[in-house]
């Protein structure tokens, strides 16, 4: 049965498929300590669902196995110019929304498992949406190892891949766990612009650009704004630094859904967007998670870091916004640009 599931997963376009038990994750104590230290910032849902996250049995009672799946989003870099002021989004967001893209294949694979067992199994699947610690399960299944940047690294796919998992009440033989192969390499730690990787295998979300530009709904700390550069949604620096990326290759499932136009986005255009324009451009992509307000805030910071006098008009308009958050970030950006270019 295990080989049949693996073969069907590959047929459906998944780039790797491994198996582990539904036992509690071994890193539960570390995860709880991380929460207690407040390193999850204001992502309260992580603490609220912490008991489920460390024990798959609490998610699917009677679960015996977890099928861990990888989907590559590696693509060649496209052109990086977009007007005078390009804003950069994380590589994973340069596609249609992966949650929607992967839901069909996951449904099909879960249905296939139920057919194999004559309907005698319960299944539930997630793709970055459920109360499970995906990386810990994936490492235990042998899909990859957790690197010093706290992300999963695959010897076959590098860093550029999504994770998904199917929990099932059917017992399947587990694969051996992956061994850590970071060695003495610390490139990811050195690459982090804000020092969010405070030590090997330790991440403080409060400093992470991905958190600051996506999950954070409030003001971006002033002291961190210059370090964000022109990133307006996420950050790839620690992932891109990993030498295992030499093995990365494009995957079947995501390639047809690539959005090369999102490799770099004109920041002045971003500041001109209303809700309808935002929905047209980003509504079916991961960028929608930041919402229009978050993206405008991020664009202000990016323009403050790289803009010149040509960016002032759009920023000045935003200082008149009734939204105090946007007005403050626009005013900060104007002050940065004015300081850089000097008096006219």
Would you name the residues annotated as active-site residues? 128
Distance CA 167, CA 35 (A): 25
Burial of 201 per CB tally in 10 Å (0-12, 13-18, 19+): middle
Six-digit token pair at 99? Answer: 């949650």
3-state class of 264 per DSSP?
A: strand
Please tell me the total number of residues recorded for the chain in this structure.
344
Distance CA 208, CA 124 (A): 31
3-state class of 277 per DSSP?
A: helix
Cβ(79)–Cβ(254) below 8 Å? no
**Sheet strand arrangement including 264-266:** 231-233, 86-89, 264-266
The distance of Cα 117 from the centroid of its chain, to the nearest Å, equals: 34
**Sheet strand arrangement including 161-168:** 16-21, 65-72, 161-168, 123-126
Six-digit token pair at 227? Answer: 């370090």
**How does DSSP classify residue 176?**
P
């Amino acid at each position: 049965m295990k080989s049949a599931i693996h073969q069907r997963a590959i047929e459906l376009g998944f780039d790797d498929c491994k198996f582990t038990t539904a036992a509690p994750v071994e890193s539960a104590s570390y995860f709880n300590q991380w929460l207690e230290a407040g390193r999850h910032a204001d992502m309260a849902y992580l603490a609220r669902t912490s008991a489920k996250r460390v024990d798959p049995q609490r998610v699917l009672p009677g679960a015996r196995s977890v099928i861990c799946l990888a989907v590559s989003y590696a693509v060649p870099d496209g052109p990086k110019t977009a007007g005078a002021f390009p804003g950069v989004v994380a590589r994973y967001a340069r596609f249609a929304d992966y949650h929607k893209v992967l839901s069909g294949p996951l449904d099909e694979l879960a249905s296939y498992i139920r057919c194999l067992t004559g309907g005698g199994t319960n299944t539930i699947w997630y793709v970055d949406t459920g109360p499970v610690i995906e990386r810990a399960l994936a490492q235990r299944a042998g899909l990859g190892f957790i690197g010093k940047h706290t992300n999963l690294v695959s010897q076959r796919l590098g860093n550029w891949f999504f994770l998904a998992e199917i929990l099932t009440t059917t017992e399947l033989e587990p694969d051996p766990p992956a061994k850590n192969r970071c060695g003495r390499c610390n490139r990811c730690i050195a690459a982090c612009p804000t020092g969010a990787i405070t030590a090997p295998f330790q991440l403080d979300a409060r400093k992470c650009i991905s958190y600051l530009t996506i999950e954070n709904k409030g003001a971006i700390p002033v002291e961190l704004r210059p370090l964000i550069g022109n990133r307006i949604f996420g950050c790839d620096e620690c992932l891109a630094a990993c030498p295992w990326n030499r093995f990365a290759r494009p995957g079947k499932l995501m390639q047809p859904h690539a959005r090369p136009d999102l490799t770099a986005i004109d920041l002045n255009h971003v500041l001109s967007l209303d809700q309808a324009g935002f929905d047209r451009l980003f509504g079916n992509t991961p960028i929608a998670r930041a919402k229009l307000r978050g993206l405008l805030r991020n664009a202000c910071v990016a323009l403050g870091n790289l803009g010149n006098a040509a960016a002032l008009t759009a920023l000045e308009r935003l200082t008149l916004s009734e939204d105090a958050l946007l007005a403050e970030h626009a005013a900060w950006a104007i002050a940065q640009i004015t300081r850089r270019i000097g008096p006219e």
